[in-house]
Amino acid sequence: MTPSLWRLTNTATFRLAVGYMALFGASAVLLLSFIWWTTSGVIERQATDTVGVELRGLADLYRAEGPRGLIQAVERRSSRQGGDPDGIYLLVDPLGRRLAGNIDNWPAGALADGQWERLDIFRTDVAQSRMIGIRAFHLGGGYRLLVGRDMVALASFQAVLLEALIWGVGVTLVLGLFSGVFMSRRLLTRVEIIGQTSREIMEGDLTKRVPLDGSGDEFDRLAQNLNRMLARIETLMGEMRLVTDSLAHDLRSPLTRLRGGLDMALSAPPEERDAAIARAIVQADAVLATFGALIEISRIEAGIGRGDMVPLDLAEIVRDIAELYQPVAEEKGLSFTLDAIPAAPMRGSPQLLAQALSNLLDNAVKYCRPGDGITLSLTAAGEGDESQWALTVADTGPGIPALDRERVFERFVRLDESRHAPGSGLGLSLVAAIAKLHGGTVALEDNAPGLRIVWRLPVEASNAALQ
C-alpha cells in the first residue's frame, strides 16, 4: 500500500464512510429481503385462494351436473385455446385413470385432502416439469379432482428480486466506497493545508494564515478561530519585541546617566559625593519604577488582581483622589473642578482603581499649561443590566491627535510632544489593563479643546470578568 493511500484509508472520515457503507448495505439487504418475503407470500396466498375457490366451484358443478359436466368444464379450462396457461387440472375416475386435464397421471404424493402443497409435476401441454402448487379433493363416487397453479411466475419474480437485491447491495457498496474515498481525500486536503500552515508558522513565519474556501463549514470556522489566535499571537510577539526594543531604548539613557553619576561620585570631592549619589538613587528609582510598572501591567493582564475585588464606593475613591490632586493642579495654575454623584457602589480593587485614576490626573496635570482647566466627573449611565459608572477626566490642554488615540495605550508609546516630560510611556497601558480587569472600557475623545478620557465601569464590575 502506497503512503498516500495509507493516509487516505487511515482517516476518520474514510472509516466513517465505510461504516455508513456497511450500514446502508445491511439496510438494503434487510429491506429487499423483506420485500422479497412479503411479495412472495402475497403471490402464493393469492394462488392458494384462487385454487381453493376454483376447486369449490368445480365440486359444486360435479354435484349439479355429474361427471360429464365436470369433464367438459375441466377440458375447457385446461385447453391451450382459451384456457388459463398457468392453471393445472386433473380429473381421474375411481381406478385412477385420467378423464380430463393437462397432466397425465395423478402425482405421487398428492393427497386429496384439500390442503395446499407444492409438487414437481410434468406438464404435458408444455412438455416440462414445473413446480406446481395444488389442492386435491375427493368427489363423490370415487372421483378425484386436482386443481393447481404453475409457480413459474413466482419463481421468476423471486429470481428478478434476488438479482435486484444483489445489484442494489453491490451499487450501494461501490458508491459508499467511492464516497468514502472522495470525502477522505477532501478532508485530507484540508487537514494537509492546516498542517502545512502550522509547519510554516513553527519555522518562524507568524504572518501565515490558514486559507478559507468560503464554504462556511466546520473547517472554515476552525480556520477562522486559528487565524484569530495566530493574529493574537503575532500581536503579542510584536508587543514583546516592542517592549524589548523600548526597554533597550528608554533605559539606555537613565542607565548611562546612572553609571556616569556613579563614576562622578567615585572621583568627586567628599562635599559633592553625597549629591552625586542622591542623583544616582533618583535615576535608579526611575528605572525600578519602569520595571515595576511593567510587572504590574503583566500581573493585571494575567488576572492576578481579581482576588482583591471587594464591594466599594467608587465615588469615595474619586473624592479622595480629587482632594489629593486639586492642590497640585492649583499650584501649577490650573483650575480643578469635581462633579461626582454622592455614591457609586460596585465591586473592584480600591488600590488599582485609585492608581489608574491617579495616572489619568497625573497626565492631565503634567501636560496642561497654566490657565488650562481639569474636570473630574462621575455619573451614572445606562439602565438595568447595562448600568455603568462613567468616570471622566477632561482637560483643556494640548490634547492628543485622533490618529494617535489608540496607539497611546500601547506600552512605551510616547508622542513627540511629550518626550521632554518625565515618564516611561506605561501610564495609559496600566489604565487600560486595570479597566479590562474590571470589565470596563477606556476611550479618548476630543474635548475641543483638549482631551476627554471616559472610563466606563459596570455597576457590578463585570461579574463575568470576576469569575
User: What tens digit of pLDDT does each residue of 45-81 get?
Assistant: 888 888 888 888 888 888 888 888 988 888 888 887 7
As given in the structure block, the three cell numbers for residue 35 are 420485500
Residue 315's pLDDT band, with cuts at 50, 70 and 90, is: very high
317 pLDDT above the threshold of 90: yes
Distance CA 106, CA 110 (A): 7
* Amino acid in position 242: L
Residue 462's pLDDT band, with cuts at 50, 70 and 90, is: very low
Q: Which of the pair, 337 or 286, is modelled with greater confidence?
A: 337
CA 359-365-369 angle, 5° bins? 150
Distance CA 172, CA 161 (A): 16
Q: Tell me the mean pLDDT in the region 311-336.
A: 92
HEC assignment per residue over the chain: CCHHHHHHHCCHHHHHHHHHHHHHHHHHHHHHHHHHHHHHHHHHHHHHHHHHHHHHHHHHHHHHHHHHHHHHHHHHHHCCCCCCCCEEEEEECCCCCEEEECCCCCCCCCCCECCCEEEEEEECCCCEEEEEEEEEEECHHHCEEEEEEECHHHHHHHHHHHHHHHHHHHHHHHHHHHHHHHHHHHHHHHHHHHHHHHHHHHCCCCCCCCCCCCCCCHHHHHHHHHHHHHHHHHHHHHHHHHHHHHHHHHHHHHHHHHHHHHHHHHHCCHHHHHHHHHHHHHHHHHHHHHHHHHHHHHHHHCCHHHHHCEEEEHHHHHHHHHHHHHHHHHHCCCEEEEEECCCCEEEECHHHHHHHHHHHHHHHHHHCCCCCEEEEEEEEECCHHHCEEEEEEEECCCCCCHHHCCHHHCCCCCCHHHCCCCCCCCHHHHHHHHHHHCCCEEEEEECCCCEEEEEEEECCCCHHHHC
As given in the structure block, the three cell numbers for residue 139 are 368427489
From 205-219, 221-235, 258-272, 298-312, the region with the lowest mean pLDDT: 298-312
As given in the structure block, the three cell numbers for residue 220 are 472554515
Instruction: Give the Å distances, CA to CA, from 442 to 216, 389, 393, 428.
Output: 34, 12, 11, 10
CA atoms within 13 A on the CB side of 63: 7
Nearest residue to 345 via CA among 319, 314, 371: 314
Cell 402443497 found at: 117
Mean pLDDT is highest, among 156-170, 177-191, 445-459, for 445-459
Nearest residue to 105 via CA among 93, 87, 118, 117: 93
Query: Sign of the C-alpha dihedral, residues 240, 356, 360, 286?
Result: negative
Beta-bridge partners for 340: 378
Instruction: Give the Å distances, CA to CA, from 236 to 225, 231, 239, 327.
Output: 16, 9, 5, 40
Query: Sign of the C-alpha dihedral, residues 361, 362, 365, 366?
Result: negative
The set of residues, in sequence order, having a beta carbon less than 8 Å from that of 382 and lying 6+ positions away, is 388
Cell 475623545 found at: 445
Q: Tell me the mean pLDDT in the region 290-310.
A: 68
Distance CA 117, CA 335 (A): 118
Distance CA 240, CA 425 (A): 15
Per-residue pLDDT tens digits for 437-450: 888 889 999 888 88
Check: CB of residue 131 under 8 Å from CB of residue 33. Answer: no
463 pLDDT above the threshold of 50: no
Distance of CA 226 to the CA centre of its chain: 13
Distance of CA 449 to the CA centre of its chain: 50
Residue 247's pLDDT band, with cuts at 50, 70 and 90, is: low
Per-residue pLDDT tens digits for 368-422: 999 999 999 999 886 655 678 999 999 998 888 888 888 787 766 766 544 455 5
* Amino acid in position 84: D
Per-residue pLDDT tens digits for 171-192: 877 777 777 677 777 777 777 7
Distance CA 188, CA 250 (A): 50
Q: What is the pTM of this model?
A: 0.47
